[in-house]
Amino acid sequence: MAGLIKREDIDLVRERSDLKEVVDAFVTLRSAGVGSYKGLCPFHDERSPSFHVRPSVGTYHCFGCGESGDAIAFLMKMEHTTFAETVERLAARANIELHYEDGGSGPDKEQVGRRQRLLEANKIADEYFRNQLGTTGAATAQQFLAGRGFTAEHAQHFGVGYAPQGWDNLLKHLQRKGFREDELRLTGLFSEGQRGIYDRFRGRLVWPIRDMTGATIGFGARKLFEDDPGPKYLNTPETGLYKKSQVLYGIDLAKRNIAKKRQLVVVEGYTDVMAAHLSGVDTAVATCGTAFGSDHVKIARRLISDDGTGGEIIFTFDGDAAGQKAALRAFEEDNKFLAKTFVAVEPSGMDPCDLRQDKGPEAVVALIDSRRPLFEFAIKAGMKNFNLDTVEGRTGALRHAAPIVAGIRDSVVRPGYERELAGWLGMEPATVHRAVQSAQRAAASPASGQRRGQSGDGRSVGHGTDGADGDAGRPGGAGPGFQRPDARDPAARMEKEALEVVLQQPTLLSAEQWQAFYAADFKVPAYAVVHSGIRAAGMAGATPSQWVEQVRQEVPVELGSLVSELAVTPLPARTSEDLVRYCRDIMNRLFELQITHQKGDLMGRLQRLGPQGDPAEFAALNRQLVDLEMKRRSLRARD
């Protein structure tokens, strides 16, 4: 039974995960001051670096797009893994044993060990096939690739390999690497006969099928020789690693571009993925011997952040009957997306690979640019089954099309398609409108189940364009309800610099400084909330990385990015001595500002008291003013 990972273990993973090491695998970082690094943001396109990392507090922040977080958040966004998966990966890297709530044990150790052996076998097979492609025995495979416009460099980029002819080439290779026969039976790399197991892929061109993290979990192999009795394409069978309904070929190469562009292009074959990427369509993937189904939808939604605010899924299909059938199957999954779905059909029947070879890369790009809404394609494809020259045919086509138009989630777009449908059928718009309304009522009735385009709790999840945008997702935004502090205001700048010091260098503050900081009165609303969050988090016992995360947890979610920004803003210090001096000066300036505010309040009370006021109160206020002045002079003396 898998349970929730214990909070203290998650904190330990955060503490021991070197954020710079994690980020370095994806971003080239350069020094940006004492303990600070910067590079080009992996989450948006930019020419000058605005992505900052401060390993000592375990936090990153992009001043361009506003993305921020810790090592766990970074890896989740880059690898598109779940929180638990990411924590478990980082824990394994740091040799941390995780513990689970409610008696849960997490991943079974024996199962994990078996999975690692399967991954290792697939990795070695991947390397073996790729090496074989460069041998003289792979001449037919080399000619096949060249005949479709792919070079040796292209094959290397996509990991294409060759399975040599013979019954036990890979078998012997893996046995020499120490794999037992009982382990090899589980890999899907071998078939079994009366004399034992033998190579499943023989005399075939081989593509590695990788998961989201880039690990090879299976293979797709294309027939090259006429005497091969097997099918044209042969994939790895279902294994502990490979589930064909849950994998997409090319996802390891396309995932970052899909997430960045919020676009996913689904093509039909391995060479189509290669051709699309080489033509500039770097968001292309393909299913592996199965239709695009519910599990693929989940992958797509995670990658494009499918929240109804944008993004698109584009299916490419041949223009023949089989292609139309595949497109209509995809349309059945459309209601599971919030993103807009499109179809791009090549009229002459060429796939992206043929198109690139025959008309050049620009033709592949043009095919994607020619995409049409999937519901429009579904309407027109169905209308071909009716004779529109007759009243009966037009009526039947309307009955077919009305539910499709009724299912269009964008209430602005739907009336336009009602008018289009009226034109296609040669009917009055009012007639089509009534039919669509009737279809909507039928879909919403209890007997028909949940209405298309609604979430499980009945809320609309359409493409709507009228959603209100808050500041939380905008670069530099302080979140809904919080105005962005004015950088020109000296008091606001002072508060900001003080918060930067406290979040980045909490150990440099003395007990006296902490006491004075807690007592400080922050005037800027956003900074005042962060100040309260710092007080609530409490520094006792927390490491620097835990400290920033604790503060993030204590502030409203819309201010989490501001906390990260404050935690990574480079401090103007070149040496450790400069850093200590800067932090001391900033805190002293904050306290002096607070003393000035307090003195102003006391002077106001004295004025309101007047000459006729209580002498004891008058004397007490004057003593407080003297004490504050002494504190101010003491701070000045320390500078």
Which helix (DSSP H) or strand (DSSP E) does residue 204 occupy? strand 204-210
Residue 175 pLDDT level (bands cut at 50, 70, 90): very high
**pLDDT of 635:** 58
**Rounded to an integer, what distance in angstroms lies between the CA atom of residue 299 and that of residue 81?**
10
Average pLDDT over residues 263-268: 91
**pLDDT of 459:** 31
**pLDDT 10s digits, 562-586:** 999 999 998 888 888 888 888 888 8
**Rounded to an integer, what distance in angstroms lies between the CA atom of residue 399 and that of residue 387?**
13
Average pLDDT over residues 304-323: 69
Residue 462 pLDDT level (bands cut at 50, 70, 90): very low
Highest mean pLDDT among 74-83, 86-95, 162-171: 162-171
Residue 458 pLDDT level (bands cut at 50, 70, 90): very low
Average pLDDT over residues 273-278: 97
Q: In whole angstroms, how far apart are CA 142 and each of 132, 135, 199, 206, 484?
A: 11, 9, 21, 12, 59
**pLDDT of 334:** 59
Q: What's the mean pLDDT when you consider all of the chain? A: 82
**pLDDT of 102:** 64
**623 class by beta-carbon count within 10 Å (0-12 exposed, 13-18 middle, 19+ buried):** exposed
**pLDDT of 535:** 87
Residue 305 pLDDT level (bands cut at 50, 70, 90): low
**Rounded to an integer, what distance in angstroms lies between the CA atom of residue 485 and that of residue 502?**
18
Q: Report the range of poorest mean pLDDT among 6-15, 19-28, 477-486, 541-550.
A: 477-486
**pLDDT of 224:** 95
Q: Report the range of poorest mean pLDDT among 136-145, 410-419, 504-513, 628-637.
A: 628-637
Considering only CA atoms, which of 237, 213, 235, 211 is closest in space to residue 223? 235
Residue 473 pLDDT level (bands cut at 50, 70, 90): very low
**pLDDT of 466:** 32
Residue pair 562/530 in contact (Cβ under 8 Å)? The answer is yes
**pLDDT of 260:** 81
Considering only CA atoms, which of 442, 586, 578, 624 is closest in space to residue 500? 586
Residue 148 pLDDT level (bands cut at 50, 70, 90): very high
CA atoms 513, 514, 519, 520: torsion sign: positive
Residue 152 pLDDT level (bands cut at 50, 70, 90): very high
Which helix (DSSP H) or strand (DSSP E) does residue 30 occupy? strand 30-31
Residue 336 pLDDT level (bands cut at 50, 70, 90): low
**pLDDT of 448:** 45
Highest mean pLDDT among 270-279, 318-327, 413-422, 488-497: 270-279
Q: Report the range of poorest mean pLDDT among 58-72, 351-365, 601-615.
A: 601-615
**Rounded to an integer, what distance in angstroms lies between the CA atom of residue 461 and that of residue 93?**
39
Distance of CA 165 to the CA centre of its chain: 41
First to last CA, the chain: 60
Whole-number percent of the chain with pLDDT over 90: 33
Residue 78 pLDDT level (bands cut at 50, 70, 90): confident
Whole-number percent of the chain with pLDDT over 70: 83
Q: Is the pLDDT of residue 346 over 80?
A: yes
**pLDDT of 155:** 97
**pLDDT of 265:** 94
Across 224-365, the runs of DSSP E, i.e. the strands, are 233-235, 263-267, 284-286, 312-318, 340-346
User: pTM of the prediction?
Assistant: 0.62
Average pLDDT over residues 119-135: 96
Residue pair 28/40 in contact (Cβ under 8 Å)? The answer is yes
Residue 143 pLDDT level (bands cut at 50, 70, 90): very high
**Rounded to an integer, what distance in angstroms lies between the CA atom of residue 81 and that of residue 359?**
38
Residue 110 pLDDT level (bands cut at 50, 70, 90): low
Highest mean pLDDT among 30-39, 136-145, 307-316: 136-145
**pLDDT of 544:** 73
Residue 225 pLDDT level (bands cut at 50, 70, 90): very high
Q: Report the range of poorest mean pLDDT among 78-92, 161-175, 354-368, 592-606.
A: 592-606
**pLDDT 10s digits, 417-438:** 899 999 999 899 999 999 999 9
Q: Report the range of poorest mean pLDDT among 246-255, 406-415, 516-525, 577-586.
A: 406-415
Burial 459-478 (b: 16+ CB within 10 A, else e): eebbbeeeeeeebbeeeebb
**pLDDT 10s digits, 540-565:** 666 777 788 889 888 888 888 899 99
Q: Report the range of poorest mean pLDDT among 156-160, 342-346, 603-607.
A: 603-607
Which parts of 541-614 fold into alpha helices (H)? 544-554, 560-568, 576-609
Average pLDDT over residues 355-376: 91
Across 370-485, the runs of DSSP E, i.e. the strands, are 372-373
